[in-house]
Amino acid sequence: MNYINQNFTKEVNTHKDYTDVSFYEDNSKITKVNLTAEIPVNTNIKCVDGLNHTQEYLETKNLKGYFGLYNASLDRLLITRPVSETYRLIPHHELFGEQAKILSQSDLPLDNITVVDQLYKDGLQAHRIIYFHDLEKSVGEKQDKVLCRIDIFNSCDMSWSFQVFSGAYRNLCRNTMVFGGQKSYHQIAKHTRNLSTTALMTKASIGLEHWTSQSEQMDNWVNSKMDIEQFGNVLKETICKKKGKSAELNLTNPVNETKLNYLLDRFQKEQVELGETLWAGYNALTHWATHTDETIEKEIDNKLVKIRSGKSTADKPSVQRTRNDEVRTVIECDSWKTLEVA
C-alpha cells in the first residue's frame, strides 16, 4: 500500500450526461479503514544478575473509534486526520447518482446541459457543476447573458461539509453568481449518520425551479441605484467589518481596509458598463468571490498601492466557497435590501 501526502491537484472531466458518475467511481473509491499504532510499552524483567530491569518495546494496538481513509483507485492510504465512527462517508459517485435520480424526476430542462466534474486532494474533495443552457437570462440594457447552474460539494475527510446551492454564471466575466435568501437555494450539512442526501438534493432542485424569480431579482438590481459611498457603507456593515480580536485591536478603525479598497475599485470598474447600480455592486462581489488571488494597483493618498484580493493558495475551491457565503451575507442584509427598487 502506498502512502502519500494530500495535495490540491485538480482533475477535471467535462461532459453532457448528468447520469454519468464514472469519473468519480473510477478515480475516488474511498473507504474507511481501521488504524493501528505502535505504542511504547515498559515492562520489568528479572535478569541473570537477579535484579529487575525495565525494558521498552513497541506493541501494535488498534485505534478504537478512529479510521483512516483509503483510496482503492490509487492504492493509497491518504494522509489526513482520522475520522470517527459516527462520521458518514458518502462516496462521491453515490451522491451524484442520487442527484441524477432527483433531476430526472424534476421539470428542469436536461437536454442541453454541460456537466463539469472535479476532484481535488487525491479524490478526497469533489465538486460537480451543471450548467443549464436552456435556462439563460438576458439582464439589463446591455443584455448580459446569465446562465443557471447548480453546484454540489462533497468531501471524505471533513474538510468540506456537504453543500449544494443553485446560482448563476455570467458569461461576459466568467463570474460565479450566488443566490441569497431562501434555504431551498442553499443547503449545507455535516456528514453524520442522520444526513439525508435525498432531502437536500430535492430542495436544491426546487431552488432551480425558482430560477424565474431569481432572474427577476437581477432585473431589479439593474434598476436599483447605488453609488460608491453607499456600496462602501454596505461593506463596512457586513463583510469588511472586523470581528473578534481583530476588531478589539483596531477600535479606531474596525474595517478591513484591504478588502474594502479592492471591492470599491472593482465596483468602479463594473459601473463603467453597468452604471451606479446594485447590479454593478453584485458583480463586484461575485468577481471577488471567483477570482481569489487577483492583484490590482490603486492610488491611495497620492500613492500607487498594490492590493491583492487574497492570498495565493492551491486550495482555491475552499476560498471560493467561503466568499460565496460572504456574498450571500451582503445581498441579504437590510442596508442592501433598502436600496432595492420596490
pLDDT at 271: 94
Total domains in the fold of the chain = 3
Residue 40 lies in a domain: yes
Question: Is the same domain home to 173 and 260?
Answer: no
pLDDT at 9: 58
92 in a domain, yes or no? Answer: yes
Task: Report if residue 136 sits inside a domain.
Answer: yes
> Are 130 and 195 in the same domain?
yes
With respect to residue 262, please indicate whether it lies within any of the assigned structural domains: yes
- Domain assignment present for residue 217? The answer is no
> What CA dihedral angle connects 240, 281, 330 and 8, to 10 degrees?
-70
User: Do 243 and 132 belong together in one domain?
Assistant: no
> Do 150 and 25 sit in the same domain of this protein?
yes
The pLDDT value given to residue 3? 36
pLDDT string in tens for the chain (342-residue length): 333 344 445 789 999 999 999 999 998 888 888 887 777 776 666 565 566 656 666 777 777 878 888 888 888 888 677 888 888 788 899 888 888 888 888 778 899 999 999 998 889 899 999 999 998 888 877 777 888 888 888 888 888 877 777 777 776 555 566 655 443 344 555 655 666 666 666 666 655 666 767 778 888 999 999 999 999 999 999 999 988 665 555 566 689 999 999 999 999 999 999 999 999 999 999 899 888 877 777 777 777 777 777 766 557 777 888 888 899 899 999 999 999 986
DSSP 125-154: EEEEEEEEEEEEEEETTTTEEEEEEEEEEE
Task: Please tell me whether residues 257 and 175 are part of one structural domain.
Answer: no
Q: What is the pLDDT of residue 241?
A: 92
Say if residue 181 is in the same domain as residue 227: no
Q: Which of 176, 168, 11, 163 is nearest to 90 (CA)?
A: 163
**β pairing state of 2-5 and 76-84:** parallel
What values do phi and psi take at 136, rounded to 5?
Answer: -105, 140
Last residue of a domain, one of 178, 209, 240: 209
Say whether both 20 and 42 belong to one domain: no
CB under 8 Å to 176, separation ≥6 — which residues? 149, 151, 167, 168, 169, 286, 289, 290, 320, 324
Q: What is the pLDDT of residue 250?
A: 54
Q: Cell numbers at residue 269, please? A: 470598474
Q: Rounded CA gap, 57 and 48, in Å?
A: 20
Q: How far apart are CA 218 and CA 314, in angstroms?
A: 32
Q: Is residue 302 in a domain?
A: yes
What pTM did the predictor assign? Answer: 0.75
Contact 187, 167 (CB under 8 A): no
Task: Tell me the residue length of the chain.
Answer: 342
Contact 295, 308 (CB under 8 A): yes
CA distance 333 to 96: 33
Q: Is residue 162 part of a domain?
A: yes
Residue 92 shares a structural domain with residue 192: yes
Q: Which of 209, 241, 257 is the last residue of a domain?
A: 209
Whether residue 124 lies inside any domain: the answer is yes
Please give the DSSP secondary-structure letter assigned to residue 314.
Answer: S
On whether both 277 and 146 belong to a single domain, the answer is no
Q: Verify that 188 and 41 share a domain, yes or no.
A: no
The verdict on 138 and 17 lying in the same domain is: yes
CA 116 from centre of chain? 15
The pLDDT value given to residue 228: 97
Q: How far is CA 101 from CA 20, 38, 104, 237, 260, in A?
A: 11, 46, 5, 42, 43
pLDDT at 19: 95
| C-alpha cell at position 232 | 462602501
SS3 202: helix
**Residues 118 and 227 grouped into a single domain:** no
Range of the domain at 320: 223-337
Q: Looking at 83, 107, 126, which one is the last position of a domain?
A: 83
Burial (CB count <10 Å: 0-12, 13-18, 19+), residue 311: exposed
Cβ neighbours of residue 97 under 8 Å, at least 6 residues apart? 19, 21
**CA distance linking residue 1 with residue 336, whole number of Å:** 54
